[in-house]
Amino acid sequence: MKHHTLSCILGLACSSMALGQVDPPLIPQPERLEWTQGRFDLTGTTIAIYKLELRDEAEFLQAGLRSVGIDADIEQVHRGMGKVVALGLAPNKGLKPEGYELTIVPEGAGLYGTDEAGVFRGIQTFLQLLPPPGTASPAVPCAMISDQPRFGWRGMHLDVCRHFMPADFIKKYIDLLARYKMNTFHWHLTDDQGWRIEIKRYPRLTEVGAWRNGSMVGHYRDRQYDTLHYGGFYTQEEVKDIVAYAAKRHITVVPEIEMPGHAMAALAAYPELSCTGGPFDVERGWGVFDDVFCAGNDSVFAMLENVLTEVMTLFPGQYIHIGGDECPKERWKTCTKCQERMKANGLKDEHELQSHFIQRMEKFVNASGRKIIGWDEILEGGLAPNAAVMSWRGTEGGIAAAKQKHNVVMTPGSHCYFDHYQGDPAQEPLAIGGHTTVQKVYSFEPIPSELTAEEGQYILGAQGNVWTEYINTPEHVEYMAVPRMLALAEVLWSPKEKRNEKDFIARLLQEFPRLEAMGVNASKSIYQVETTIVRGNEPGRLTVGLSSPLGLDLMYTITRPPYSEQGRLGRYSQPLTIDADCEVQGFTMNNGSTGPIARKRFDFNWATAQAITCNPLPNERYDDGGPLTLVDGIHAGERRVNYEWLGWRSDVTITVHLSLGKMLTHVGIGALEEHSSWIHLPEQVVISTSLDGKTFAVQGTVKPEKDAQGNVHLGIDLKEVGAAAVRFEVKNTVRIPAGMAGAGNPAWLFLDEIEVR
Nearest C-alpha neighbor of 255 from the set 205, 310, 295, 327: 310
Nearest C-alpha neighbor of 261 from the set 395, 363, 406, 358: 358
Which residues make Cβ contacts (< 8 Å) with residue 469, sequence separation at least 6? 162, 163, 216, 220, 286, 419, 432
DSSP result, 620-680: GGG-TTGGGGGGSS----SS--GGG-EEESS-EEEEEEEEEEEEEEEEEEEE--BGGGTB-
Q: How far apart are the C-alpha atoms of 733 and 258, rounded to whole Å?
A: 29
Q: How far apart are the C-alpha atoms of 201 and 325, rounded to whole Å?
A: 26
Q: How many CB atoms lie within 10 A of CB 367?
A: 9
Q: How far apart are the C-alpha atoms of 633 and 755, rounded to whole Å?
A: 9
Nearest C-alpha neighbor of 148 from the set 192, 107, 126, 181: 181
DSSP result, 60-80: HHHHHHHTTT---EEESS--S
Angle at 239 between CA 233 and CA 241, to 5 degrees: 135
Which residues make Cβ contacts (< 8 Å) with residue 188, sequence separation at least 6? 157, 158, 159, 160, 161, 256, 467
Q: How far apart are the C-alpha atoms of 30 and 523, rounded to whole Å?
A: 25
What DSSP state is assigned to residue 433? S
Q: How far apart are the C-alpha atoms of 35 and 406, rounded to whole Å?
A: 41
CB-based contact 333:345 (threshold 8 Å)? no
Q: 593 pairs with which residues across the strands?
A: 590
CB-based contact 64:26 (threshold 8 Å)? no
Q: How far apart are the C-alpha atoms of 546 and 540, rounded to whole Å?
A: 20
191 belongs to the catalytic site: yes
Q: Pairing relation of β-strands 153-159 and 569-571?
A: unpaired
CB-based contact 120:250 (threshold 8 Å)? yes
CA quadruple 313, 315, 320, 322: dihedral positive or negative? Answer: negative
Q: How far apart are the C-alpha atoms of 100 and 116, rounded to whole Å?
A: 10
Residue 237 backbone dihedrals phi, psi, to 5 degrees = -65, -40
Which member of 262, 406, 420, 680 is catalytic? 262
**Amino acid at position 503, single letter:** D
For residue 659, how many C-alpha atoms fall within 13 Å in the half-sphere facing its CB? 13
Three-class SS state of 579:
coil
**Amino acid at position 121, single letter:** R
CB-based contact 145:101 (threshold 8 Å)? yes
CB-based contact 263:294 (threshold 8 Å)? no
Which residues make Cβ contacts (< 8 Å) with residue 271, sequence separation at least 6? 277, 278, 279, 280
DSSP result, 253-317: EEEEEEESSS-HHHHHH-GGGSSS--------S-S--S----TT-HHHHHHHHHHHHHHHHH--S
Which member of 101, 147, 191, 729 is catalytic? 191
Q: How far apart are the C-alpha atoms of 629 and 459, rounded to whole Å?
A: 34
Which member of 57, 256, 258, 326 is catalytic? 326
Q: How far apart are the C-alpha atoms of 178 and 251, rounded to whole Å?
A: 7
Residues carrying an active site annotation? 191, 262, 326
